[in-house]
Amino acid sequence: MVNLPVPPSSGSASAPHEWAVLPYDLRFPSDVRFVERAVELVVDRCRSAGFPAHALAFNVRVALTEALSNAILYGNREDENKAVRVTANITDAGLVLEVYDQGKGFNLDECTNDPTRLENLLREDGRGLFLMRRLMDRVEQVSNGHNMVRLTLRRT
């Protein structure tokens, strides 16, 4: 089950930005069919928190989709008994998204190919980490008892 956020009661006079939209913490089963909805939930929260709309519309949507896909497909090997977790926050560094899975982790540099090289152009895979790195300002991988990828995008 996706733990959907609970909005304020309909009778509340509070505008959306007045309730605590961030930090946001979402967990869902390792099924790629949840990815689009999870991305929309995170983007909605970040938009409500005032993060620039254009960056959310493209860079964040694509990069977060990649991170969640990798967590499900390669981290949790599509085991629906394993959860994927994503957190979103805005800090001094900008928008910080963290994606956690229950896999063994990976080496970010070793796994990042250059899909623009002629010999890679016809490959069907191998563009995910490359896109994350091109669309976000910073991509980090942390294996510290759990496997986590942190995406950071400065507010522009």
Partner 1 sequence: MSFAIHKEGDVCVVSVEGQLIVGNRQELKQKVLDEIERGERKFLVDFIQTGYIDSSGLGVLVSLSKKIREHGGELRLTNLNEDLKTLFELTKLDTLFQIAETRERALESF
> Contact residues for partner 1 (CB under 8 A)?
32-36, 57-58, 61-62, 65-66, 69, 72-73, 115-116, 121-128, 130-131, 134
CB of 154 to partner 1, least distance (A): 18
Catalogue the E-assigned strands of 17-154.
24-29, 83-91, 94-101, 138-143, 147-153
Bridge partners of residue 90, in order along the sequence: 95
Closer by beta carbon to partner 1, 65 or else 147: 65
Residue labelled with tokens 């089950």: 1
Closer by beta carbon to partner 1, 17 or else 77: 77
CB of 28 to partner 1, least distance (A): 12
Closer by beta carbon to partner 1, 106 or else 130: 130
Closer by beta carbon to partner 1, 33 or else 104: 33
Q: How far is Cα 93 from Cα 66, in angstroms, rounded to an integer?
A: 21
CB of 57 to partner 1, least distance (A): 7
What number of other Cβ atoms are within 10 A of residue 61's Cβ? Answer: 17
CB of 124 to partner 1, least distance (A): 4
What number of other Cβ atoms are within 10 A of residue 54's Cβ? Answer: 9
What number of other Cβ atoms are within 10 A of residue 135's Cβ? Answer: 19
